[in-house]
């Protein structure tokens, strides 16, 4: 019995040691001719981990077991990224960079009278509009490559260099390789993907203390916090409650064919001799009635307040990854913090709640690609697998922390 107990303890010790152990990822960075590229930056996306290739183009990083996106960047070359999985041994990987003719040539940017407006729109949708966002600044907006397609009402933005964001609210300098940003004005859906790298800003002891406090607030209740807690099996303990929001077709809504026909009929009758249409706002005339019918939602939302148990939602996919798959919409309530007043005052932003529910932070997860894969640190595998509504859609880059962020009570 003692031998069996001793073996179990030894195996447990090996498992804990392995989880805490770091392994070396090393290799070289060269061009297509095979020449070394000293000074190339080697970044771990989403973390505060980076290094620079030495005079021989060699690099080395210490990483714990996990899944990482490695980004290689050097001015004059196309940025390169590679997904690396560290398991239980050192890894060697060599990178070959390709020259970027676009960066090397002298680029003339045509004057665009709308560019400043597009940058403001991008800033609001990418950096955010939270109180923390007011203390963020894009240092080099000149690297933004902006395109607005009027026919599709779609704004797209990308960069071929790091976009540098200085966040004086949380004390981070963020270098973001923005692969793609899209805002569809018709659907109101925002999507972006890229590779952020975080650096700590320097500051006085009092400023660093304020930053630490704000980082904790930013992390608590975030999507990153939720998935990390879900992975650890303690989402309930950490203040999250999961319900389901069920959307059903409104059977009492009149058919679109009838509504459109009536709108057309009464719009024609409402035209005066000059061709203008007079509509009584809030009035009882027939045209106003049918326009109101047209504007009514086609679906009704029903909140099922029976709690979704995490152990029925989460499945183990691999040694470093778990997944969730679900029907309807996840209604995630974070009970340890209340909504910020600035959020509550935004018309159409907050999620409806029962009258007896306090103003907890509520976010919705709409499943787009099933299942959703996620890691221990709260990172997700495919950013297009979900669309957020509610509080998480309000908090953006200005309220983000690195994936290696650990709350003070969780630090080893």
Residues 352-378: tens digit of each pLDDT: 899 999 999 999 999 999 999 999 999
Task: Provide the strand spans (E) within 130-235.
Answer: 136-138, 145-149, 154-158, 163-167, 172-184, 189-200
Q: 267 — alpha (psi -120 to 50), left (phi > 0) or beta?
A: alpha
> pLDDT digits over 253-284, tens only?
777 888 788 788 877 776 654 455 555 444 44
pLDDT reading at 214 higher than 80: yes
Query: What pLDDT score does 205 carry?
Result: 95
Class for the domain spanning 22-104: mainly beta
Q: Which residues of 335-369 are buried (b: 16+ CB within 10 A; e: fewer)?
A: eeeebbeebeeeeebbbebeeeeeebbbbbbebee
pLDDT classification of 315: cutoffs 50, 70, 90: very high
Q: Would you state the pLDDT for residue 369? A: 93
The token pair that represents 335 in the structure block: 């009970």
pTM: 0.81
- Per-residue pLDDT at 72: 93
Residues 6+ apart with CB under 8 A from 51: 41, 42, 59, 60, 61
- pLDDT higher than threshold 70 for residue 111: no
What pLDDT is attached to residue 95? Answer: 96
Q: How far apart are CA 98 and CA 33, in angstroms?
A: 10
Query: Which of the pair, 78 or 223, is modelled with greater confidence?
Result: 223
Read off the pLDDT band of 14 (50, 70, 90): very low
Does the structure show a pLDDT above 90 at 109? no
Q: What interhelical angle do 286-295 and 256-270 show, nearest 10?
A: 150
Instruction: Give the end-to-end CA distance of the chain in Å, rounded to a whole number.
Output: 33
Q: What is the pLDDT of residue 13?
A: 37
Q: What is the mean pLDDT of residues 244-254?
A: 82
Q: Does the pLDDT value for residue 21 go beyond 90?
A: no
Burial of 104-130, coded b for 16+ CB within 10 Å and e otherwise, reads eeeeeeeeeeeeeebbebbbebbbbbb
DSSP SS3 for 26: strand
Mean pLDDT of 21-48: 93
Range from 13-22, 48-57, 184-193, 381-390 carrying the lowest mean pLDDT: 13-22
The rounded distance, in Å, linking the Cα atoms of 380 and 386 is 10
256 to 214, 259, 263, 298, 394: CA distances (angstroms): 49, 5, 10, 10, 33
- Residue 194 has which token pair? 């890229």
pLDDT higher for 410 or 228? 228
Cα–Cα distance measured from residue 64 to residue 22, given in angstroms and rounded to the nearest whole number: 4
Instruction: Say yes or no to pLDDT of 6 above 60.
Output: no
The total of other beta-carbon atoms located within 10 Å of residue 26's CB is 17
- Domain limits, the chain: 22-104, 109-219, 220-250+300-402, 254-296
Q: Which has the higher per-residue pLDDT, 394 or 264?
A: 394
How does pLDDT run across 162-207, given as a tens digit for each residue? 999 999 999 999 999 998 999 998 888 888 888 999 999 999 999 9
Q: What is the pLDDT of residue 334?
A: 98
- pLDDT for 282 equals 46
DSSP 307-324: PPPHHHHEEEEETTEEEE
Mark residue 409 as left, alpha or beta (left: phi above 0; alpha: psi -120 to 50; beta: remaining). Answer: alpha
């Amino acid at each position: 019995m003692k031998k069996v107990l001793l073996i179990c303890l030894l195996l447990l010790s090996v498992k804990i040691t392995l989880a805490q152990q770091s392994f070396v990822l090393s290799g070289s960075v060269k061009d297509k001719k095979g020449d070394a590229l000293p000074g190339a930056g080697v970044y771990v996306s989403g973390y505060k981990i980076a290094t620079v290739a030495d005079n021989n183009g060699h690099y080395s990083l210490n990483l714990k077991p996990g899944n990482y996106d490695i980004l290689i960047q050097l001015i004059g070359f196309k940025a390169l990224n590679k997904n690396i999985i560290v398991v239980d041994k050192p890894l060697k990987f060599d990178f070959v960079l390709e020259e970027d003719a676009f960066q090397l040539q002298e680029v003339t940017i045509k004057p665009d009278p709308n560019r400043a407006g597009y940058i403001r729109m991008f800033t609001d949708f990418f950096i955010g509009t939270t109180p923390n966002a007011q203390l963020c600044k894009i240092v080099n907006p000149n690297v933004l490559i902006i395109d607005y397609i009027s026919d599709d009402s779609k704004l797209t933005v990308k960069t071929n260099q790091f976009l540098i964001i200085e966040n004086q609210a949380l004390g981070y300098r963020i270098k973001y390789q923005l692969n793609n940003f899209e805002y569809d004005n018709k659907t109101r859906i925002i999507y972006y993907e890229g590779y952020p790298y975080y650096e700590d800003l320097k500051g006085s002891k009092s400023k660093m203390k304020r930053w630490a406090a704000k980082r904790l607030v930013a992390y608590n209740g975030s999507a990153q916090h939720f998935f990390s807690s879900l992975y650890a099996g303690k989402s309930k303990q950490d203040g999250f409650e999961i319900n389901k929001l069920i959307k059903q077709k409104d059977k009492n809504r009149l058919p679109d064919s009838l509504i459109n026909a009536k709108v057309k009929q009464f719009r024609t009758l409402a035209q005066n001799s000059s061709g203008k249409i007079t509509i009584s706002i809030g009035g009882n005339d027939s045209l106003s009635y049918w326009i109101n019918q047209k504007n009514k939602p086609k679906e009704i939302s029903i909140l099922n307040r029976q709690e979704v148990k995490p152990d029925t939602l989460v499945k183990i996919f691999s040694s470093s990854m778990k997944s969730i798959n679900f029907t309807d919409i996840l209604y995630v309530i974070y009970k340890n913090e209340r909504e910020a007043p600035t959020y509550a005052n935004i018309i159409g932003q907050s999620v409806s709640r029962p009258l007896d529910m306090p103003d907890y932070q509520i976010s919705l997860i709409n499943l787009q690609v099933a299942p959703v894969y996620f890691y221990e640190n709260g990172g997700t595998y495919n950013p297009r697998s979900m669309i957020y509504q509610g509080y998480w859609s309000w908090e953006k880059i200005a309220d983000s922390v690195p994936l290696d962020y650990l709350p003070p009570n969780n630090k080893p």
